């Protein structure tokens, strides 16, 4: 396949960026999107040009590092995949593909398609944990049975990979799906319930401080989420937050 790529190039956080057009030939439909980008970079290096910087690591859809906004959608047109799992068979010969970084003011561009998502880390540091020390003798793991339905829901929420596709897809650059996934996971488990009040207040405050927008329930995040995290989590977080606020 031969393709035209329109890629956002930006030298560093302070530089002004622009879309640059490239053409790439000989793409195989079996390639993953990132392998296509690798190939393109090899060509750029060969021509003495600066390769396109993009984040990637595990290339199996679990580390959450890859983060491209492809043809107007986070992680491209396929569903329930990260960029690294997107394959070129989803495109046609002669296509023009627009590739941009995940955009949000809370995700400043480091270079080209690489953005700084440490805001997510800071939100987690504000309360995304259970305050238990690693003594190893807390209590037996089976001491508290957990309703399977709750455990399954907690698991579904916990499967968030922190890629930021929710923020990137949201017209408001809201991080509610991400934050609510963590809040939900712990709210659903007896181990996490103990400090639920402080957790939700602290995490939401940090989320606001980072400059993410507000949720307007468009549902884009749920659709674009590579792990299919449900909007139900946002409702649960709203509930938790209201309860926490009323509790004071």
Partner 1 sequence: MISTTIARKVAMALSGLFLILFLGQHFTINITSVFSEKTFNFLSHFMGNNPVVQFVLQPILIFGVLFHFLMGFVLEYKNNRSRTTKYASFKGSANSSWLSRNMILSGIVVLSFLGLHFYDFWVPEMNYKYIEFLPKDPNRYYGELVHKFHSPVRVTIYSLSFVFLALHLYHGFASSFQSVGLNNKYTRGIKWFTVAFALLIPAGFIFIAIFHHLNG
Partner 2 sequence: MAKLDSKIPAGSLSEKWTNHKSNINLVSPANKRLIDVIVVGTGLAGASASATLAELGYNVKTFCFQDSPRRAHSIAAQGGINAAKNYQGDGDSTYRLFYDTIKGGDYRSREANVYRLAEVSTNIIDQCVAQGVPFARDYGGLLDNRSFGGVLVSRTFYAKGQTGQQLLLGAYSAMNRQIGRGKIKMYNRHEMMDLVVVGGKARGIITRNLVNGEIERHSAHAVVIASGGYGNVFFLSTNAMGSNVSASWKIHKRGAHFANPCFTQIHPTCIPVSGEHQSKLTLMSESLRNDGRIWVPKKLEDVKAIRAGKLNPTEIAEEDRDYYLERRYPAFGNLVPRDVASRAAKERCDAGFGVNKTGEAVYLDFADAITRYGKEQAHVKGLDENDAALVKKLGQEVVRAKYGNLFQMYEKIVDQNPYETPMMIYPAVHYTMGGVWVDYNLMTSIPGCYAIGEANFSDHGANRLGASALMQGLADGYFVLPYTIGDYLADDIRTGPISTDSPEFEAAEKEVKKQIEAFINNKGKHSVDYYHKKLGKIMWDKCGMSRNEKGLKDAIEEIKALREDFYKNVKVPGTADEFNEQLAKAGRVADFLELGELFAKDALERTESCGGHFREESQTPEGEAMRDDKNFSFVSAWEYKGEPSKAKLHKEQLEYEEIEVKTRSYK
Which residues are at the interface with partner 1 (CB under 8 A)? Answer: 6, 8, 17, 19, 69, 71-73, 77, 98, 100, 103-106, 169, 171-174, 176, 204-205, 207-208, 211-220, 223-224, 231-232, 234-242, 245
Q: Which of 9, 17, 71, 110 binds partner 2 (CB under 8 A)?
A: 110
In DSSP notation, 34-67 reads HHHHHHHHHHHHHTTPPPPP----SSSS-S----
Query: Hey, CA dihedral for 59, 234, 156, 243, is it positive or negative?
Result: positive
Cβ–Cβ under 8 Å, residues 8 and 19 = yes
Q: Name the DSSP class of 32.
A: B
Q: Which of 141, 171, 246, 247 binds partner 2 (CB under 8 A)?
A: 141
Work out what residue 131 binds among partner 1, partner 2, none; the CB cut-off runs from 5 to 8 Å by kind. Answer: partner 2
Q: Is 30 in the site for partner 2 (CB under 8 A)?
A: yes
Residue 83 CA to residue 54 CA, distance in Å, equals 11
Q: Which of 4, 121, 198, 214 binds partner 2 (CB under 8 A)?
A: 121
Work out what residue 71 binds among partner 1, partner 2, none; the CB cut-off runs from 5 to 8 Å by kind. Answer: partner 1
Q: How far is the CB of 56 from partner 1 (least distance, A)?
A: 21
Cβ–Cβ under 8 Å, residues 181 and 158 = yes
Work out what residue 171 binds among partner 2, partner 1, none; the CB cut-off runs from 5 to 8 Å by kind. Answer: partner 1
- The first and second tokens of residue 243, run together, are 């309860």
Q: Which of 17, 51, 213, 219 binds partner 2 (CB under 8 A)?
A: 51
Residue 176 CA to residue 168 CA, distance in Å, equals 12
Residue 242 CA to residue 85 CA, distance in Å, equals 38
The angle at the Cα of 65, spanning 222 to 48, to the nearest 5 degrees, equals 130
Q: Is 50 in the site for partner 2 (CB under 8 A)?
A: yes
Q: How far is the CB of 53 from partner 2 (least distance, A)?
A: 6
Q: Which is nearer to partner 2, 202 or 218 (CB)?
A: 202
Q: Which of residues 193-232 bind partner 2 (CB under 8 A)?
A: none
């Amino acid at each position: 396949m031969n393709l035209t790529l329109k890629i956002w190039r930006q030298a560093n956080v302070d530089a002004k960026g622009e879309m640059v057009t490239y053409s790439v030939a000989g793409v195989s439909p079996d390639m993953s999107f990132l392998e296509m980008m690798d190939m393109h970079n090899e060509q750029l290096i060969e021509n003495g040009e600066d390769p396109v910087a993009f984040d990637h690591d595990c290339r199996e859809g679990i580390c959450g590092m890859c983060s491209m906004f492809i043809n107007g959608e986070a992680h491209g047109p396929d569903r329930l995949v990260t960029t690294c799992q997107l394959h070129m068979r989803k495109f046609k010969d002669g296509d023009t593909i627009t590739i941009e970084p995940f955009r949000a003011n809370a995700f400043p561009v480091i270079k080209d398609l690489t953005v700084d998502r440490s805001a997510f880390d800071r939100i987690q540091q504000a309360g995304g944990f259970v305050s238990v020390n690693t003594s190893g003798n807390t209590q037996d793991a089976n001491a508290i049975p957990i309703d399977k339905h709750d455990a399954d829901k907690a698991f579904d929420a916990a499967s968030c990979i922190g890629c930021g596709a929710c923020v990137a897809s949201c017209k408001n650059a809201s991080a509610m799906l991400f934050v609510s996934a963590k809040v939900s996971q712990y709210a659903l488990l007896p181990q996490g319930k103990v400090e639920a009040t402080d957790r939700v207040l602290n995490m939401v405050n940090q989320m606001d401080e980072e400059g993410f927008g507000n949720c307007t329930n468009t549902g884009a995040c749920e659709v674009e989420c590579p792990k299919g995290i449900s909007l139900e989590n946002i409702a649960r977080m709203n509930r938790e937050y209201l309860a926490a606020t009323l509790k004071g």
